Amino acid sequence: MSSDDAALDALAVLGDPVRRSLYRHVAAAPGDVTRDAAADAVGVTRAVAAFHLDKLVDAGLLETTFRRLSGRTGPGSGRPSKLYRRADGEYAVSVPPRAYDTVSQLLAEVVERAGLDTELQAAARAAGEAAGVADPVVALRERGYEPYWDCGKLRLRNCPFHALAEQFPALVCGMNLAGIEGLLGEGWSAAMDPLPEGCCVAIEGPEGVGEV
């Protein structure tokens, strides 16, 4: 099976609307998700959620861990719960086949070697500004960042440039920050503040936004 076939198989699993909703919910959640929470979020029974979540695990789109939610250990602390999270792998398919990942890698290599960080950041900032965004949270979600509020800061659970950022961290993360800065309107600010996972940028909104 070619890698294209593998990607198509994985994505075909998302063709089912319930499964797609479950995937989106788990992928965008800041922590591991229980069956019950996923079922509630999507509005299906626990059994239906379990069935579809396990299909997503089989397809390599989600992975599972087991943890006792009570926080207790030892006898009498109950069975560990099955928790779901997005799997690390990524699938890209273009029909007909195109190889933009190869192009982006080559271009990044050249930009890195030429030392054009500042120029790249300026272009990213301009592209963000040109998008003329009304609601930054919606705009970031549409671009795949999976934003969530955490202690008054907007965190981004997904890095849309993950593979490239791994290879060219300074270049790509700098570009990403500038692009996000461009997207944000009056009163918003973005800063580099990496966590172990997810996007390295943290965002603060105008006063009052994002507070619970």
Partner 1 sequence: MNDFHLAQVNVGRILAPLDSPQLADFVAQLPEINALADHAPGFVWRMVDDGGADATGLRPEDEDDLLLFNCSVWESVDALKAYVYRSDHLRVMARRREWFERLADHHMALWWVPAGHRPGVAEAMDRVALLRAKGSTPEAFTFRAPHPPPTGKAS
Contact residues toward partner 1 (CB under 8 A) are 113-118, 121, 167, 169-170, 173-174, 177, 191-196, 200
Give residue for tokens 């069935």.
Answer: 51
Nearer to partner 1, 138 or 192 (CB): 192
Distance in Å, CB of 200 to partner 1, minimum: 6
Measured CA to CA, the distance from residue 156 to residue 140 in angstroms comes to: 8
Distance in Å, CB of 113 to partner 1, minimum: 8
Distance in Å, CB of 165 to partner 1, minimum: 9
Nearer to partner 1, 81 or 167 (CB): 167
**Reduced to 3 states, what is the DSSP secondary structure of residue 34?**
strand
Measured CA to CA, the distance from residue 145 to residue 155 in angstroms comes to: 9
Strand 81-86 vs strand 33-34: parallel, antiparallel, or unpaired?
Answer: antiparallel
Distance in Å, CB of 187 to partner 1, minimum: 22
Nearer to partner 1, 83 or 172 (CB): 172
Distance in Å, CB of 124 to partner 1, minimum: 11
Nearer to partner 1, 37 or 116 (CB): 116
Nearer to partner 1, 142 or 193 (CB): 193
Amino acid at 33: V
DSSP letters of 139-206? HHHHTT--EEEETTEEEES--TTHHHHHHSHHHHHHHHHHHHHHH--TT-EEEE---SSS-SEEEE-S
